[in-house]
């Protein structure tokens, strides 16, 4: 993979929420999506940043302005240190390494392997969430949906959560030493997974600990922002 291409950070959207200097860090964000992981972490680190809110259902992500930032048209994108990062896991690792070492595990340190494993395991959970989101929300015509695929993805999602459940049943956070950047990655995944599967008590308690954090609450959609999910829970359709 080539290094991110440096580009000039755009100004924040008129009337949009901005913290600190707009030219320092810019997060392109779809509320409630994977980019919420990064918004949560930025708030945990109390960093100044500009927030560019986009609507997944509009043309925001296909316009020329965003194409210059993320040619694939996906969210999030993070403009930082004169470059653009396009993967949320890479954003978490880079932010923790450069701005929040207390939430990171550096190479050679105790817990480094587990920290990296959890960081990437968040995407294992996330792929099933993405597939279910596509089926439940984006395929509006029921004829376009496959009930078989939806059942399989729901079962697979529930199975991936067992690894998290076995860990947080015995400790508050994924790392025994306490809250870290990987909780932003996996915590969002488990919180969102709860819209498609019923969470067992240990996972619900973990989600409750995540949502009680002020930085998590600050990352929730603000009034007037588009909502990705309109329901608390999405039942499987009847055959």
* pLDDT tens, position by position, 167-178: 999 999 999 999
Q: Are residues 119 and 211 in the same domain?
A: yes
Residue 228 lies in a domain: no
Confidence of residue 33 (pLDDT cuts 50, 70, 90): very high
Q: Are residues 214 and 188 in the same domain?
A: yes
* pLDDT tens, position by position, 120-143: 999 999 999 999 998 898 777 777
Query: 8: burial class by Cβ within 10 Å (0-12, 13-18, 19+)?
Result: exposed
Q: Are residues 163 and 79 in the same domain?
A: no
* Average pLDDT rounded to a whole number, residues 18-36: 78
Q: What is the pLDDT of residue 19?
A: 39
Whether residue 236 is predicted with pLDDT greater than 60 in this model: the reply is yes
Q: Are residues 76 and 146 in the same domain?
A: no
Q: Are residues 91 and 129 in the same domain?
A: no
- Residue 26 host element (H or E): strand 25-29
Residue 4 lies in a domain: no
Confidence of residue 17 (pLDDT cuts 50, 70, 90): very low
SS3 18: strand
* Average pLDDT rounded to a whole number, residues 81-98: 96
Q: Give Cα separations from 198 to 30, 126, 172, 192, 203 (angstroms).
A: 25, 16, 20, 11, 10
CATH of the domain at 79: 3.40.30.10
Q: What is the mean pLDDT of the chain?
A: 88
Count of domains observed in the chain: 2
* pLDDT tens, position by position, 49-72: 999 999 887 777 788 888 889 988
Question: Does pTM surpass 0.75?
Answer: yes
Backbone angles phi, psi at 19, to 5 degrees: -120, 130
* Average pLDDT rounded to a whole number, residues 38-48: 97
CATH of the domain at 198: 1.20.1050.10
């Amino acid at each position: 993979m080539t290094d991110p291409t440096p580009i000039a950070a755009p100004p924040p959207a008129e009337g949009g929420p901005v913290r600190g200097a707009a030219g320092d860090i810019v997060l392109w964000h779809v509320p409630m999506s994977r980019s919420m992981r990064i918004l949560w972490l930025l708030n945990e680190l109390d960093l100044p940043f500009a927030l560019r809110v986009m609507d997944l259902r509009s043309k925001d992500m296909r316009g020329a302005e965003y194409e210059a930032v993320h040619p694939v048209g996906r969210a999030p994108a993070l403009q930082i240190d004169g470059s653009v990062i396009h993967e949320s896991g890479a954003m978490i690792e880079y932010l923790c390494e450069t701005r929040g070492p207390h939430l990171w595990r550096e190479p050679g340190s105790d817990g480094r392997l587990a920290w990296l494993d959890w960081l990437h395991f968040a995407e294992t959970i996330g792929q099933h969430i993405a597939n279910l989101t596509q089926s439940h929300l984006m395929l509006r015509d029921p004829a376009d949906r496959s009930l078989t695929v939806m059942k399989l993805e729901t079962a697979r999602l529930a199975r991936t959560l067992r690894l998290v459940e076995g860990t947080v049943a015995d400790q508050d956070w994924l790392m025994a030493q306490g809250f870290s950047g990987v909780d932003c990655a996996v915590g969002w995944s488990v919180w969102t997974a709860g819209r498609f599967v019923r969470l067992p008590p240990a996972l619900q308690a973990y989600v409750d600990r995540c949502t009680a954090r002020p930085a998590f609450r600050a990352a929730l959609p603000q009034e007037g922002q588009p909502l990705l999910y309109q329901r608390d829970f999405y039942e499987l359709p009847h055959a």
